[in-house]
Amino acid sequence: MKQPKPLNELIRENRKKLGLTQDQLASRLDIKRSLVGAYEEGRAEPRLELLQKMATLFGLSLEEFLGQEKDKLKRGGEVLVVTMDSSERENIEYVPVKAAAGYLNGFGDPEFVKELPHFRLPMLGSGTYRAFEIKGDSMLPLTSGSIVVGEYVDDLRSVKSGRTYVLVTKRDGIVYKRVFNYVKDTGHLFLVSDNRQYAPYQLPAEEVNEIWSAKAYISVQFPDPDQKPDMAVEELASTVLELQKELRELKASKVKP
């Protein structure tokens, strides 16, 4: 079976078929020329909506344009841009709250990611990591202003229920939640706050741009000894029962004529 060409080659070849320069393609797609260069060099991948726009411009269906790249769409069309230090080791880019809004639009832009502060943590193993400043009290005892370091997850289907993740979402921005994975059954993730004053809610898989598994946190405030470090076992069990009830109701609604 003939293997499909890499996405970066498909973009470059189709651009040249139209006789366009990178500047001209960027203008038609309403993006920066640096992004076109990053896509054609394989340093970044376009989001789903931009892939569709490209396919239309090239006179192709999305399936014809991507071939066997289609499975990436099922995982949300992830985009990952990283930077390297002088020793060719991946940095940990830091996204402070003041940069969160910009990150929602610029997470796939190499120029934007390059401008983020970055650092390294020697205790972390191999992998791709990013640090996010969290806001609010929904995940106490982690206080607002704490920095959560997450490892990149390239497939939503590998998310482990009950663990905490930083999610970069289209609807809710950047959130840090405990996640229960029902993507296989319903196409949704269920997000739970450790602070039970916040109600759990479901998030469609296609709303997730990036997801990072929490591996460490940095804070200038020490936990309050009077606060529970984690959800009590009975509270977690109650939350799971609530999610299972929602799951049954969601499945039932799908089979109704």
- Tens digit of pLDDT per residue, the chain (257 long)? 345 678 888 899 999 999 999 999 999 999 999 999 999 998 887 877 788 889 889 888 776 777 644 444 343 344 578 888 877 788 999 999 999 999 998 888 888 998 999 998 988 888 889 999 999 999 988 899 999 999 999 888 889 999 999 999 988 999 999 999 888 778 889 999 999 888 889 998 888 989 999 999 999 887 666 655 445 545 665 666 677 777 777 767 665 55
Q: How far apart are CA 182 and CA 190, in angstroms?
A: 7
Which domains does the chain carry? 7-74 (1.10.260.40), 92-222+231-255 (2.10.109.10)
- Give the residues across from 130 on adjacent strands: 93, 150
User: pTM to 2 decimals?
Assistant: 0.63
Give residue 99's identity as a one-letter amino acid code: A
Q: Are 150 and 213 in contact (CB under 8 A)?
A: yes
List C-alpha distances in Å: 149 to 128, 161, 226, 241: 10, 19, 25, 29
